Amino acid sequence: MSSPGSIIFTLGPIVVRWYGVMIALGFIAATYFAHRLAKSYAIDPEKIVNCILISFIGGIIGGRLYFVALEWPTFALHPENILATWQGGLSIHGGMIGCVLAAYAYCRFNKISFLKALDIGGIVVSLGQAIGRWGNFFNNECFGGPVDPSFPLKLYIPDEQRPVQFQNESYFHPAFLYESVWDLLIFLLLYFYLGKKLRPFPGVTFMVYLALYSIGRLLIEPLRTDSIMKFGVQVPVVASIVCLVVAVVAIAFLMSKYKRVS
């Protein structure tokens, strides 16, 4: 497996890149399924589509700000790259924060259930992430350590994009693919089964998504060679542990609350 390159085509000054296309396809898929789910959650489908759009914008902003903040020494030297999202560099954890804040603002202004909207988002965002991760493939990023050429799942990384310590290696773990498959499995589980079971408990489905996604990141992130490091630890691992703890506590709290009410 090897990337054909990050650019699909150019038309004069217009450059169409795979990274942006995959993000857009993920958004379209998430919006489609959110629209289908809306009525079962007693929410106007048009409002949930608007909520997804606002959340998507918030997620892009949050994801980029989070990434830039973590890599500030680099961006301080090249501030012209801060807005260059087509080169990659959207942190999913920052995107989650941006999405949730934007969704809360929209739901509060439009007087719809924030927790129900979160549940719909938790189901469909996993599909969007599964598709969006393929943008990393075309950018030759989000890969793990080196593997033997005989390894069944391997990603070829060009010389100029290999970590310095692995210049003599050619094939690496396709970490983006592992996460894409994990995210797709989360979507299938929530959309076809758990989401229906948990519908009477608003907010729980989203927290289940957050817990499952965090578990996946904790399993996959240690494989990566391009993970953001601070103080000798992988930042996404720490963020995933925090998200997992928050999700478990929130699930326990919400289920206890609903049991008391019933």
> Tens digit of pLDDT for each residue in 97-141?
999 999 999 999 999 999 999 999 999 999 999 999 998 888 888
- Taking 90 as the threshold, does the pLDDT of residue 149 lie above it? no
pLDDT (mean) for 225-252: 87
Band of the pLDDT at 233, cuts 50, 70, 90? confident
Alpha helices in the chain (DSSP H): 18-38, 45-70, 72-77, 92-110, 114-132, 134-138, 175-189, 195-197, 204-220, 235-261
Average pLDDT, rounded, for the chain: 88
CB count within 10 Å of CB 3 equals 18
* Rounded CA separation 74/231 (Å): 16
* Rounded CA separation 121/51 (Å): 9
Asked whether 73 and 82 are in contact (CB, 8 A), the reply is no
Residue predicted with more confidence, 75 or 118: 118
Q: Please tell me the least confidently modeled range out of 138-142, 177-181, 240-244, 253-257.
A: 138-142
Asked whether 222 and 234 are in contact (CB, 8 A), the reply is yes
pLDDT (mean) for 76-102: 77
Give the per-residue pLDDT at 5: 80
pLDDT (mean) for 151-156: 88
Give the per-residue pLDDT at 85: 64
DSSP 230: E
Residue predicted with more confidence, 246 or 141: 246
- Taking 80 as the threshold, does the pLDDT of residue 96 lie above it? yes
| Identity of residue 232 | G
Asked whether 124 and 23 are in contact (CB, 8 A), the reply is no
pLDDT (mean) for 217-232: 83
- Taking 70 as the threshold, does the pLDDT of residue 220 lie above it? yes
pTM of the predicted model as reported, rounded to 2 decimal places: 0.86
- Strand-pairing partners, residue 11, are 14
- Taking 70 as the threshold, does the pLDDT of residue 16 lie above it? yes
Q: Give residue for tokens 């500030």.
A: 72
Give the per-residue pLDDT at 74: 73
